[in-house]
């Protein structure tokens, strides 16, 4: 059976043809509630977002800084279960073709059962998973199931990842490689690391996959700066912060959309 091309691959192909860089936006699902997530997703897709990362709220987000921790708390408080989140993805799918990646802690899918979770995610219209605390060494079964479901396994590469490991990870990746621009948790930073170009070059020696860079990027200047070295830029906490600030405003999607538009226009 011929599998339809994954939306992530399709999007990067379009970007390449248009000679553009991609913009990946992260928001916490269910923050402040899932209806807002649906509206935000559609609005962000119209604001120049190429890939949407939805954070699945988890009680113990140990890779996240305070901004995203609080978003996860709000998500849990609004009753965001993985099942309801996938229903929301299905609802977004009826209105938009924006590629969707779930940013997830492994226990959530482990609890449901890997196959069941991955199949349900694919059926809902998810395009890829980024499992924060699942290194490739622990992921044989996961990868197999992801392939069978036609989902991209997005792997992280960090500043501490040595080159032989970069090669091993890159060989297993699909969709894109997510390079974490610095050691640390998610969150906004004032400055951007200087050696980014060298690290990206090291990854490129081992893969033709597009490379997205994230962690700490929060304004248009940084977006422009980072985009020069890679294929896509990820902005998370800065957007989540906007949601935290305007969560109760009736025009939340417009406000956040406006903020994101300024960032995507920097590309």
Partner 1 sequence: MSSVASEQLPDAAGRFGPYGGRYVPETLVHPLRELEEEYFRAQQDPGFQRELDYYLREFVGRPTPLYHAQRLTEDLGGAKIYLKREDLLHTGAHKINNAMGQILLAKRMGKTRIIAETGAGQHGVATATVAAMFGFECVVYMGAHDCDRQRLNVFRMRMLGAEVVPVEAGQKTLKEAVNEAMRDWVTNVRSTHYILGTAYGAHPYPVMVRNFHRVIGDEARRQVLEQEERLPDLLTACVGGGSNAIGLFYPFIEDESVSMVGVEAGGEGIIPEKHAARFQGGSLGVLQGTRSYLLQDEVGQIQMTHSVSAGLDYAAVGPEHAWLRDQGRVEYTYATDDQALEAFFRLSKLEGIIPALESSHAVAEVIARAPQMSKDQIIICNLSGRGDKDVQQVAEKVKM
Single out the residue of 183, 197, 221, 245 in contact with partner 1 (rule: CB under 8 A).
Answer: 183
CB atoms within 10 A of CB 113: 11
Which stretch, 17-25, 29-37, 134-142, 235-243, contacts partner 1 (CB under 8 A)? Answer: 134-142
- By CB under 8 A, tell whether 30 contacts partner 1: no
Are the CB atoms for 221 and 192 separated by under 8 Å?
no
Reply yes or no on whether 197 is catalytic.
no
- By CB under 8 A, tell whether 161 contacts partner 1: yes
- By CB under 8 A, tell whether 22 contacts partner 1: no
Give backbone dihedrals phi and psi of 243, rounded to 5 degrees, phi first.
Answer: -65, -40
**Contacts with partner 1: how many residues (CB under 8 A)?**
40
- By CB under 8 A, tell whether 189 contacts partner 1: no
Between 29 and 49, name the residue whose CB sits nearer to partner 1: 29
Between 81 and 225, name the residue whose CB sits nearer to partner 1: 81
Between 157 and 243, name the residue whose CB sits nearer to partner 1: 157
Q: How many CA atoms are closer than 13 Å to the CA of 10, on its beta-carbon side? A: 12
Minimum distance from residue 106 beta carbon to partner 1 (Å): 5
Reply yes or no on whether 50 is catalytic.
no
Beta carbons within 8 Å of 73's beta carbon, 6+ residues apart: 57
Measured N-to-C along each axis, helices 237-246 and 252-264 cross at an angle, to the nearest 10 degrees, of: 150
Which stretch, 58-66, 228-236, 240-248, 252-260, contacts partner 1 (CB under 8 A)? Answer: 58-66
- By CB under 8 A, tell whether 162 contacts partner 1: yes
DSSP 263: H
Is 106 in a helix, a strand, or coil? helix
Between 96 and 181, name the residue whose CB sits nearer to partner 1: 181
Is 103 in a helix, a strand, or coil? strand
Single out the residue of 52, 145, 157, 240 in contact with partner 1 (rule: CB under 8 A).
Answer: 157
- By CB under 8 A, tell whether 12 contacts partner 1: no
Angstrom distance (rounded) from CA 165 to CA 174: 16
Q: Which of 9, 38, 50, 53 is catalytic?
A: 53
Is 51 in a helix, a strand, or coil? strand
Angstrom distance (rounded) from CA 107 to CA 109: 6
Single out the residue of 16, 111, 172, 205 in contact with partner 1 (rule: CB under 8 A).
Answer: 111
Among positions 200-259, residues that touch partner 1 (CB under 8 A) are none
CB atoms within 10 A of CB 202: 18
Between 77 and 201, name the residue whose CB sits nearer to partner 1: 77
Single out the residue of 20, 115, 165, 246 in contact with partner 1 (rule: CB under 8 A).
Answer: 165
Q: Distance of CA 257 to CAs 40, 104, 144, 210, Å? A: 7, 24, 36, 25
Give backbone dihedrals phi and psi of 26, rounded to 5 degrees, phi first.
Answer: -110, 130
Closest to 130 in 3D by CA, of 112, 148, 157: 157
Residues that bind partner 1 (CB under 8 A): 58-65, 69, 76, 81-83, 106-112, 132-135, 137-138, 155-162, 165, 169, 180, 183-185
Residues designated as active site: 53, 64
């Amino acid at each position: 059976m011929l599998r339809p091309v994954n939306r992530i691959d399709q999007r990067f192909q379009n970007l390449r043809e248009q000679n553009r860089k991609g913009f990946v936006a992260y928001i916490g699902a269910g923050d402040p509630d899932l209806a807002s997530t649906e509206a935000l997703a559609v609005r962000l897709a119209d604001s120049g977002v190429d890939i949407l990362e939805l954070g699945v709220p988890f009680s113990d987000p140990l890779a996240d800084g305070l901004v995203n921790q609080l978003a996860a708390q709000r998500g849990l408080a609004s009753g965001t279960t993985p099942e309801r989140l996938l229903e929301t993805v299905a609802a977004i799918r009826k209105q938009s073709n924006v590629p969707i990646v779930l940013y997830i802690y492994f226990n959530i899918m482990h609890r449901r059962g890997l196959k069941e979770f991955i199949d349900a995610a694919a059926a809902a219209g998810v395009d890829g998973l980024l499992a924060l605390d699942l290194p490739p060494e622990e992921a044989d079964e996961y990868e197999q199931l992801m392939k069978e479901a036609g989902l991209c396994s997005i792997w992280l590469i960090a500043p501490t990842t040595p080159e032989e490991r970069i090669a091993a990870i890159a060989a297993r990746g699909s969709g894109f490689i997510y390079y974490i621009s610095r050691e640390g948790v998610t969150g906004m930073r004032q400055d951007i690391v200087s050696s980014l170009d060298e690290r990206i070059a090291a990854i490129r020696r081992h893969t033709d996959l597009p490379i997205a860079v994230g962690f700490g990027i929060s304004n248009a200047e940084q977006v422009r700066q980072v985009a020069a070295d890679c294929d896509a830029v990820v902005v998370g906490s800065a957007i989540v912060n906007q949601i935290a600030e305007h969560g109760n405003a009736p025009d939340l999607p417009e406000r956040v959309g406006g903020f994101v538009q300024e960032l995507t226009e920097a590309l």
